[in-house]
Each structure stands twice: as C-alpha cells, then as structure tokens.
Amino acid sequence: MAQPDSKKIFFENLSGAGKAIAVLTSGGDAQGMNAAVRAVVRMGLYVGAKVYFIHEGYQGMVDGGDNIKEASWESVSSMLQVGGTVIGSARCKEFRTHEGRLKAAHNLVQRGITNLCVIGGDGSLTGANLFREEWSELLGELVKKDLIASDAVQKYSALHIVGMVGSIDNDFCGTDMTIGTDSALHRIIEVVDAIMTTAQSHQRTFVLEVMGRHCGYLALVSALACGADWVLIPEMPPEDGWEDKMCQKLSANRAGMKRLNIIIVAEGAIDRNNKVITTEYIKNLVVKCLGFDTRVTILGHVQRGGTPSAFDRILASRMGVEAVLALLETTANTPACVVSLYGNQSVRLPLMECVQMTQEVQKAMDEKRFEEAVKLRGRSFENNLKTYKLLAHRKPESELPSSNFNVAVLNVGAPAAGMNAAVRSAVRVGISEGHKMFAVSDGFEGFYKGQIKEIKWADVGGWTGQGGSLLGTKRTLPAKHLEKIAEQMRKHNINALLVIGGFEAFESLLQLYEARGTYEELCIPMCMLPATISNNVPGTDLSIGADTALNAIVETCDRIKQSASGTKRRVFIIETMGGYCGYLASVGGLAAGADAVYIYEEPFDIKDLQANVEHLTEKMKTTIQRGLVLRNENSNDNYTTDFIYQLYSEEGRGVFDCRKNVLGHMQQGGAPSPFDRNFGTKISAKAMQWISKKLVETFRNDEGRVFANTEDSCCLLGMRRRALVFQPVVQLKDETDFVHRIPKEQWWLKLRPLMKILAKYKTSYDVSDSGQLEHVVRLRPTELEASVAM
C-alpha cells in the first residue's frame, strides 16, 4: 500500500478524549438518519469521545432522564438498513421557550455535553443555533438557581453545534442533496413505474401528488426520472392559461400513439395568483376537456418510509464522520456549521447563512418573484428545471433551428442501467437543436454493418425507466473495422458522434481519434458519456449505471443478512462484479456495513486475511450476530472467493459458520435508479449542447463540411469533484492503467479507511480532503452549473 504523504494530515493528530458528543434527530424523519447516527457514534467513540443518544429530539433534551443515554459501539449495530430514526424524533413546543432551553442546558451540563450533532431540517437547525447563542446566559441562570456549580460556567463555556440536513424534500439551500431525498425518490419512482404498467393497459391518465409543501424538488426530479407529461411545482407556477396548454399536450401525446399520461403535482403547487392547484382540480379538468379516464394517486407518507437507498447510506455515513471532524476542530469562535454535499465533495457551510438563504426562497415565492426563487434553490434545482422543459415540451417544427447536421448515438460495452435515459435525452435535445439524430444498433459492430437509422422524438418515449440497452450494445472495438465505419459515415453523412458506454467506449474513442490522420470522415466532434456498473472509466468520479448496481448489491446484502436472523452466528462471503475495479465492493461494503472488503487496488496477503478473521471472531463473541465480507471478483488470483470462504469457515469454527454468494449479473439488470436516470439525462443533454457548439465552431463554410481534428473535439464528459468537465480522451491516457482497465487514481479509495473505522478497525484516516468552512454563494460559477447530484 502507498505510504502516507507527509503533506497529509492524519486523524491521529485529532483527539476527542475528554469530549462528550450528543446526537439527536429532530423534526420529520428521513431515511438515512440511522446511518448518520451510526457514523457519529462510531467515529466519536473511535477518537476517544463519549457519545450520547438524545431520544425523541429536542423533547428528549428538555425532559432529560432516560432520554439521554450513553451510546456504545454495539448500540448502533444493525441499524444501517433501517428506515426512519431509531432514536426517535418529535416536534417540541417547549424547546421554543426560554424555560424549555434552560431545562435542556441543565440536562446537557449534568452529563458534560458541549458538542451537539443535530440531524434535521432548517427549523431544527435554527433552534440549535439559538440554543448555542444563549448558552452562556443559560449557564448563568442555572448558577443563580444553584442548579449547577459556578465553575461549570468556565468548564462548559461554549456549546458547539454541527448540523446535518435530514429532509426528504431537499428544501435546504447550500447542499445538493439532503439525507433522505434519494430514498424518497426511490419510493416515488417505484410507484410511478408500477402505475405506468396499469395505466398503459387501460389508456389512463394518472395524476400523482408527491410531498413538497414549499419545495418542488421531489416532483420535478421524479417527473424528469419517469418522463412525465406535466409537472406542477410551487417555485415555478404555470403561466395563466396553463390548463389549455396542458390538455393540448396530453391530447397530442395520445394522438402520437402514447397510451398513458402521467401528471406529477407537488402538494404545495400553486398558480400565479398563489391559488392552490389540487390533484382533484386537475383530474376534473382532464375529464371535462378531454374525456380521458383519469385517476388520482396521493403517495403521502409512503415517501418517508422504507429502507434507505445506497446513496443515502453513503451520504449519511460520510456526513456523520465529517460532523465529528468538524466538532473536534471547532473553537469557541467557530460559527455553527452544517455539513453539506457539493458535487461529490463534502463541504462545511455556516448554518445561519444556509437558513437565511432557505428563508429567502420562501420570501421570493410569497412575493411572486418566481425566477429568483428557482435561482435561490441552487444550481441543481435550476438545471433540473431547464432539462425537464427541454425534454418534455417539443417545439413545433416551424420553431426548430435548421442545422443540417446529422448526429449518431450508440452504446458500447456491457449494458448499464440509465443508458436508455441518456439516449432519450440525447435524441430529444439534438432534435431541439435542429439536428437529425441517428441511432446505431449493437455498438461499433452495428456501425460497420450499417445498422444505422434515423430516430425521432416519439421513438424514445418511455425509455427513461427501461433497464439495459434498447439500442443494443457490443464490446467490439472499431480498430479492425475503420474503413467500413468511415464508409458508413460517408453514406449517412454523420457529422458528430455520441458514444455512451464503459471502458470499451473510452478505448474506442482513442482509436477513432488516432485514426483521424488516415480517415477524414473521423474528423468530427465526438463525445463519450461514462456508463458502466464498474465505474472504472478514467476522467470521472461516477458512471451511469453504478448507482443502480450499488442498490442491487446493498439490497441483496440486506436480505442475506436478514436470512441469518434468529440463527447462530454467521458470516457471509459475497463476490461482486467490477473486473479489477473495487468500486462496487468498497462503496457497497460501506453502504451495507461490511466487516471487510477485498479489492485489487489494495493488495492483501494471508496475514491480512488471518487478522480479519481474528477481528471478526472477537466481534462475534460479543453481541454481533452476523458478519459481512465482500470480495471484488478480480481482487486476487489465488485468494479466491472459495479460498476465503474455506479459510473463514475453518478459522471461525466453534464461533461462527459461513455462507458464500456470488451476485453475478443481477448487478447489471433491473430498472435504473432515480440517480442513474437523472444523471444520464442531464449529462447527455449537456453533451449534446457541447456537440452543437463544436459543430458550429468546426464547420468550414468554404468546403461545406465539418472538420474537427483537435484534441478538444474528442472528449469524455465526466464528473470531477464539484464539476462536470469535458476532457480530451488523449489526455486521459496517462491517467489510465490499460492492463487492468482502471484509472491510476480513484477518489473512492479515500472512503476505505472510513469503512474500516465503522467496522471497528484501527486505521489511519486522511482528513486533508475533509470539508473546510466556506460561505454560501448565491450564484455558482457558470462552469459548475451542472450538478451531478440529482
């Protein structure tokens, strides 16, 4: 393993000895809160702090007694996969009063607690900040009433607050995603997918109401994820006369042979006069104007329930650890902060700046400044709205620009969930830009065989929720068929290429770029979108399809672990896909609560295996009943899944027994997750806009053709930390290990120590990349506008 860099700050330098941290969940519950609680408890204990649960939120803090209990390592076992919050949450009117906060302060001081980790919405976090500001005054009052000793004022002089936002509405400014939002989207999309099958059978229109009293995020993103015909949200009420436009749209879709209509309404949807738009009103409108068979479904608290998604577990675990780091580093002068997600990076933001921005959104909506409200919601929300409008509403032919460019789109490599959403987005954005779009079947094999045909707007209807690759995909590389591919490009006058796929797609673009000197037909703009469950493509932190595969792994691990409940102690050895890339095993292990994960990138030997067995044996002798070990399929030629299974079985004899499971291709199948649908949709739209720009830039008027032979005309669009970036594929060659088909540097390797800490291993944790306190920015730089988080 690589030796620690001297520039890095390691966790051994930070100590929680003598500190007491309390964690509470407040306000509405959200899936993933338990993962955050688990991470705070285990990281707090790891650094030597005392950690307390505060049950029932602020009510428990005010009431004290058994509501405030010291937490142990074992007390957070088996809670990672549980929805809601196991420590309870309650609205507390008493905490809003000075007397209530005085009681709460007394209860905390009695236990020496001066560090609070609050998981909740803006109301809960605002209350925590007020509590912090009053802390000195409250201690003074307690001394006067002889409830605490006078030296306690000095000893517990400052209350430190770190917040994590737990809210399914994603209504908090300053973060791309709040804990619980992705899981709520999973519940919504599960329902929508189920409804679409029955709606199609009967040619029905369905009006769905989703949560979001003051924020339309769930409605907007679920509409984007399922390709809804119409969406109504509070931030952007429809223009006057919207009823006629909506009915015309529904009627046109039916005329285009579409057998169903889906309308999604946020519960707080309003018109331009602030009048509430109800699902019943929409139903009656559709029945009266169009005579369509129309049904209403109100999802309600289904959206809050169920198991947290892989995304929420990982997000909450990362945020929980970051919250403990922030508490360890805080001083008396440090403002209360909230741990946030920006792109793929954790950041810390001043709590009250975020709260004020969130309140400004509501004020803008109340004052009918709707465009400003959308901007204040943040880059992610604004980008979602723009993308939805672009894809859902087709302009009349007369209004479309005439570009006379032909753009081909194809899938290359193994299928990945979300590919179809990316193709749909590319086709519709391309048509909106005035291009003629061509679909290539079966990758480059189909290309050289001439399996190329024009694809229209309606042809990709309903593709968003389909798994696999509807175009067909093959691993065939173009190098051996360049002459035939060039011939097909001439025949169909292809002016640009969009390739959606994994490592083979990356290699294909390199081969096409290098062949430009021989074939002028290849001197056209080319763009690649990473789509592979293995997430092994250089130039990007995330790939289309990886989130769906992670959810499949985590769901299976949950079921496998549950199968052992009530039996004797058992350890499960599970093999995941990924080739030589350990992303699925490592991140899946973090989300499923694995005890050990074996990957190629982190070499291991028999001593490591023995140490892991001994560590697990010790844990099994206490209260842990089930163990989970993940192994990437190509992690080691000799230490196979069978070998590890036999080793654990022999060494654990008398303490635990073993079972093994090879997950196989079930990781590649299934309907795409909401994240993959939206990630695919948005990066594909951005890629097509880049292609349109390059086509104009590289068109030679004197020759009447496109000619692009520079490095920056053959790019991969990837997500790097905080931004979506177009990177020339030729420049990514040096970052790539072609033998093992992985990038030389992979960001997720930094999550492995976190996984080990949460599994009770002693390890070094690099905190050089942890979030630093920043400030809320109203408008992000334009190059960062495209958020990867949904």
Tell me, letter by letter, the H, E, C secondary structure of 443-499.
HHHHHHCCCEEECCHHHHCCCCCCCCCCCCEECCCCHHHHHHHHHHHHHHCCCEEEE
**C-alpha span between 31 and 17 (Å, rounded):** 31
At residue 493, φ and ψ (nearest 5 deg) are: 50, 55
Residues forming a β-bridge with 87:
none
**C-alpha span between 546 and 543 (Å, rounded):** 6
Closest among 728, 736, 741 to 516, alpha carbons compared: 728
Question: Is the Cα dihedral 681, 685, 690, 694 positive or negative?
Answer: positive
**C-alpha span between 685 and 695 (Å, rounded):** 15
SS3 helix, strand, coil % of the chain, rounded to 5?
45, 20, 35
Token pair recorded at residue 392:
């859902």
**C-alpha span between 549 and 679 (Å, rounded):** 14
Q: How far is CA 454 from the centre of its chain?
A: 34
Active-site residue, 737 included: no
- Cβ neighbours of 398 (radius 10 Å): 5
Q: Do 598 and 659 contact (CB within 8 A), yes or no?
A: no
**C-alpha span between 337 and 346 (Å, rounded):** 12
- Give the start-end residues of each E strand in 71-127: 115-120
**C-alpha span between 618 and 615 (Å, rounded):** 5
Strands 406-412 and 345-350: unpaired
Q: Do 214 and 376 contact (CB within 8 A), yes or no?
A: no
Closest among 665, 658, 640 to 584, alpha carbons compared: 665
Q: CA geometry: angle at 463 spanning 180 and 786, to 5°?
A: 50
Strands 294-298 and 230-232: unpaired
Q: Do 757 and 765 contact (CB within 8 A), yes or no?
A: yes
Burial 158-168 (b: 16+ CB within 10 A, else e): ebbbbbbbbbb
Q: Do 504 and 475 contact (CB within 8 A), yes or no?
A: yes
**CA atoms within 13 Å, Cβ hemisphere of 751:** 29
- Cβ neighbours of 768 (radius 10 Å): 10
**C-alpha span between 7 and 15 (Å, rounded):** 19
Looking at residue 142, the DSSP 8-state letter turns out to be H
At residue 448, φ and ψ (nearest 5 deg) are: -75, -20
Of the candidates 29, 122, 169, 176, the residue annotated as catalytic is: 169
Closest among 357, 162, 254, 280 to 770, alpha carbons compared: 162
Closest among 81, 97, 27 to 56, alpha carbons compared: 27
**C-alpha span between 329 and 765 (Å, rounded):** 15
At residue 263, φ and ψ (nearest 5 deg) are: -120, 125
At residue 629, φ and ψ (nearest 5 deg) are: -125, 125
Looking at residue 50, the DSSP 8-state letter turns out to be E
Q: Catalytic residues, which ones? A: 169
